[in-house]
Structure 1
Amino acid sequence: MKFENEDVIDTIQLNMVLEKVKKYIDILDGREKEVIVGRFGLDLKKEKTQREIAKELGISRSYVSRIEKRALMKMFHEFYRAEKEKLKKTKRK
């Protein structure tokens, strides 16, 4: 049984994660953002399938898959670069 304060904590944690993710979503182009936000429900709506997104955007499911993969790689590389930079700064101190 979940209590109301647990829901509040869950919401706060979700918002903290979303803020971090949004930083990396900002490096994506418009279509990449649409695909990633839709696929992972980052707009706080339900997660969509590649097929649903393809239909909305008027493109093939396989093209959605390629966009998704490219976008996730961009986000990963930016995350890796940022973490590497943080590590350099902590070593300098």
Structure 2
Amino acid sequence: MRIGNEILMSLRAEKKLAGEVSFSDPIGVDKDGNEISLVEVLGTDTEEVQRQVELALFGVQIREAMDRALSCRERTVIELRYGLIGGQIMPQREIAKLLGISRSYVSRMEKKALAKLAKEFET
């Protein structure tokens, strides 16, 4: 049994390094010796898992684009406005109060930042 565990650990390590894993690939065995897939571990259907993974990857792409294209203040406005920090969407009026600037300036920064992000995704 010890050799079996070592083989499984080796296979998992190889898959981890390979960078591409199918949701239906076996990742181990349960107490009865049956293979367990990633979908079973995540406990949901394949489409939902795929949607969650795609959403997470898109979030990473957005953050990378924000790092490349936006100033610190523009990034703060976008993060607060769209709930990227803490998940709570904040109105322009509250952002303005928090940053000590006018609501119209927050609006202009938001518009400019969104245009920059759109341009990032065009390339």
TM-score of the superposed pair, with normalisation by structure 1: 0.71
| Bigger RCO (CA 8 Å, 6+ sep) | 1
* Equivalent of 2:66 in 25, 38, 62: 25
Give the AA of the match of 2:95.
I
- Structure 2 partner of 1:62: 104
**Cα 1:12–1:44 shift into 2, 3 Å:** farther
The CA RMSD over aligned residues, in Å, is 1.9
Larger radius of gyration: 2
Structure number having the greater helix percentage: 1
% same residue = 43
Contact 1:18–1:42 (CA<8 Å) still a contact in 2?
no
Give the Å deviation of 1:45: 2.3
Runs of 4+ in 1 over 6 A off after TM superposition: none
2:107 equivalent to 1:45: no
* CA–CA separation in structure 2 for the residues paired with 1:74 and 1:36: 12
Give the Å deviation of 1:58: 0.4
**Cα 1:22–1:44 shift into 2, 3 Å:** same
Aligned length: 77
Structure number having the greater strand percentage: 2
Stretches of structure 2 that go unaligned for 5 or more consecutive residues are: 1-42
TM-score of the superposed pair, with normalisation by structure 2: 0.55
